[in-house]
Amino acid sequence: MHFSSSLLSQNLSENIATFLSQQSGIFIKSYGVSGLAAPSTRGTNFGHTAISWYGLNIQSPMNGGLDLALLPISLVDDIKMQYGGSSALFGSGSIGGTLHLDNQPKFETKLYGIVGGKIGSFNNVAQYSKIGFGTKKTATSFNFFHSSGKNDFTYIKGNKLQSVVNSASKNWNVGFNEKIKLVNSQELSFNFWYQDSYRQIPPSATSNNNLGLQEDKSIKTAIGWKKISKNIVWQARLGFFEENIFYKDIFIESPSKAKTFASAIEFTTSNKKLGLINFTLNQKHDIVNIPTANVDNRKQDRLAVSLSLRKELFKKKLNFIFNVREDFIDQKWLIPNTSISISKTIKPIFLSYKASRNFRIPTFNDLYFTDAFARGNPNLIEEFGWGHEINIKYKYQNTKFSFNNVLSIYSQNINNWIQWLNQDGVWSPENFKRIWSRGIEYDGKFRKQFYNFNIISSISHRIVFSTISSVKLGVSEKTIGKQLPYVPIYKGGGNIGLTYKNTSISYNHSFSNQIFTNADNSTKIQGYQLGNIILSQNILYKNTELKFNISLNNIWNKNYQVVQNFFMPRRNYSLELQLIF
């Protein structure tokens, strides 16, 4: 799933978590407006969706994930979601899929950009900018985002109107991207991303005592080199990522720090007999410090070699892709990740079958974290599983009409699933069960133009059965066959928009059925239907555009939760102004 640049430009004041929740069928497990937002892709957990930035994995080595609520849309130019078996080459943590983030500064352009600001309910404000310029030899872009809010909305619990407390947040992001063309078809790139956020962590609706706060600071840098010759493309990437997290509540005060050094060398060529060949060597070195949790200067080294072959078979009637990746982690070779893909186009239909093996290694928190309430388990082994999927795509397009459909059917088993369990009042992780996730995904887009009107609509729907198929000896079998907690069976949504000249109105709808909150499915929270309306007016003057947006969110005033006892805002509004040049 590749999100269009026009859709991204309409959501520059949002974070990636909100964007994916509204514009895709991906379920976002959100602990309130200022809390953690974790993706669940194809019935998997937080650490099963890899995050790639310029081809380098930026998942946290501490918890294996990345909080999508902290990532603003305005800091990237391109977002693509790659599901399941397609992401086997990205190593640990890509069982559910891989989210790709990228920036694309432009060569040979005058000064261009977008500057905007937004105000909204609950004292929320945001300012952002994306500015760039280019010459024949250089391309430069700057990105900026700031947001703050009290998030002091009300919700209804037990027929009583209550207010969220301790939920204020601030978020600063600065990005810089540079590309330089060198002699002999070579190109250098440099990318920088700094983030500084402060969040008050609201208590659950059943506890008003535990008032926490969290500060997140991170630096991401990537340097790239690319050389294109007659039949060979060479690429090299170096990355350095540092994250500092400070968490505090009435019980604990926990600073933590992680550093990652990553590199990749990539070689791509073509051969008449073998087709397109790609060879990649990846290296990663992680250092983690959590002094209060017995994680002091813990280190991990990874080395991976991957090979990808793409070949047209039977007189170009079939496309065949074979991928294999071998990982060497802490002096241990793992079983290789492999995937195959066979596809055929029968215009206007595209058919494909994919099979893959994926894995996820335990995180530093899984292995070593220790405090009064939790204890890591150094004896954990990696999760692994096989997946299969069938994709059917239909596309029709002319100058005034387009219709795109993608239907996917998948199944995957995950062994040695890591789960944190409460044992005598202390939480500890175990490899204690096997998961079977299977489902159907549909994504459709429709565009129609007539006279001065444009109609654009899209729909995403997910049916996911992610159940426990077996558990380790000594564990209750009552959970076998039950849906995983916080994986809704039905999730989806859609958009419909009408544009007339410089005026547009659009409606976004998203829904989820009931969400089970424990392993035996004995407790659950209600599903929800959410609607948002956006009215936009553009004013054009020469090469400059002024755009004004009015948004009414959760128009049905739904009182809902995504995580139990962490309520989300009811009806609210925002006003946004953009200057585009």
- For residue 520, which amino acid is it? D
Beta carbons within 8 Å of 524's beta carbon, 6+ residues apart: 514, 515, 516, 517
Examine the pLDDT at 56 and tell me if it is beyond 80.
Answer: yes
Beta carbons within 8 Å of 251's beta carbon, 6+ residues apart: 210, 372, 373
* pLDDT tens column, 286-309: 999 987 767 778 999 999 999 999
Confidence at 243, pLDDT banded by 50, 70, 90: very high
Examine the pLDDT at 88 and tell me if it is beyond 70.
Answer: no
Confidence at 565, pLDDT banded by 50, 70, 90: very high
Examine the pLDDT at 100 and tell me if it is beyond 90.
Answer: yes
- Token duo for residue 518: 């424990």
| Average pLDDT of the chain, as a whole number | 92
Examine the pLDDT at 203 and tell me if it is beyond 80.
Answer: yes
Torsion of CA 518, 524, 525, 527, to 10 degrees: 110
Residue 210, pLDDT score = 72
Residue 208, pLDDT score = 67
Residue 158, pLDDT score = 86
Examine the pLDDT at 249 and tell me if it is beyond 90.
Answer: no
Q: Report d(CA 69, CA 32) in Å as an integer.
A: 10
In the predicted model, what is the mean pLDDT of residues 138-154? 96
Rounded to 5°, the CA angle 520-524-530 comes to 145
Give which of 291, 193, 294 is closest to 247, Cα–Cα. 291
In the predicted model, what is the mean pLDDT of residues 475-494? 91
Give the three-class secondary structure for 295: strand
Q: Report d(CA 74, CA 58) in Å as an integer.
A: 18
Q: pTM value?
A: 0.92
Give the three-class secondary structure for 74: helix
Give which of 94, 81, 91 is closest to 462, Cα–Cα. 81
In the predicted model, what is the mean pLDDT of residues 273-286? 93
* pLDDT tens column, 315-329: 888 999 999 999 999
Confidence at 554, pLDDT banded by 50, 70, 90: very high
The answer to whether 47 touches 62, Cβ cutoff 8 Å, is no
Confidence at 188, pLDDT banded by 50, 70, 90: very high
The answer to whether 483 touches 514, Cβ cutoff 8 Å, is no
Residue 221, pLDDT score = 97
**What DSSP line would sit under 528-566, residue for residue?**
EEEEEEEEEEEEEETTEEEEEEEEEESTT----EEETTE
The answer to whether 546 touches 13, Cβ cutoff 8 Å, is no
* pLDDT tens column, 515-544: 999 989 999 999 999 999 999 999 999 889
Bigger pLDDT: 252 or 357?
Answer: 357
Bigger pLDDT: 477 or 407?
Answer: 407
Q: Report d(CA 45, CA 96) in Å as an integer.
A: 8
For residue 204, what are the CA distances in angstroms to 165, 207, 208?
Answer: 10, 5, 7
In the predicted model, what is the mean pLDDT of residues 117-144? 96
Answer positive or negative: Cα dihedral of 386, 387, 388, 393.
negative
- Token duo for residue 425: 């009042």
Confidence at 441, pLDDT banded by 50, 70, 90: very high
Give which of 109, 148, 146 is closest to 131, Cα–Cα. 109
Q: Report d(CA 276, CA 267) in Å as an integer.
A: 11
Residues linked to residue 530 through DSSP beta bridges, in sequence order? 510
- Token duo for residue 493: 């949504």
Q: Report d(CA 542, CA 482) in Å as an integer.
A: 60
Confidence at 504, pLDDT banded by 50, 70, 90: very high
In the predicted model, what is the mean pLDDT of residues 486-496? 95
Q: Report d(CA 105, CA 135) in Å as an integer.
A: 11
The answer to whether 145 touches 72, Cβ cutoff 8 Å, is yes
Strands 337-346 and 524-525: unpaired
Torsion of CA 262, 86, 75, 212, to 10 degrees: -80
Residue 163, pLDDT score = 92
For residue 279, what are the CA distances in angstroms to 89, 265, 266, 268, 501?
Answer: 11, 8, 6, 6, 49
Residue 85, pLDDT score = 59
Examine the pLDDT at 78 and tell me if it is beyond 70.
Answer: yes
Confidence at 86, pLDDT banded by 50, 70, 90: low
- Token duo for residue 261: 């050094």
* pLDDT tens column, 326-366: 999 988 899 888 999 999 999 899 999 999 998 999 999 99
Examine the pLDDT at 87 and tell me if it is beyond 80.
Answer: no
Q: Is the peptide bond before 569 cis (omega within 30 degrees of 0)?
A: no
Residue 472, pLDDT score = 79
Q: How large a percentage of the chain has pLDDT more than 90?
A: 75
In the predicted model, what is the mean pLDDT of residues 104-130? 96
Torsion of CA 99, 204, 481, 382, to 10 degrees: 50
Q: What are phi and psi of 478, to 5 degrees?
A: -65, -20
The answer to whether 398 touches 388, Cβ cutoff 8 Å, is no
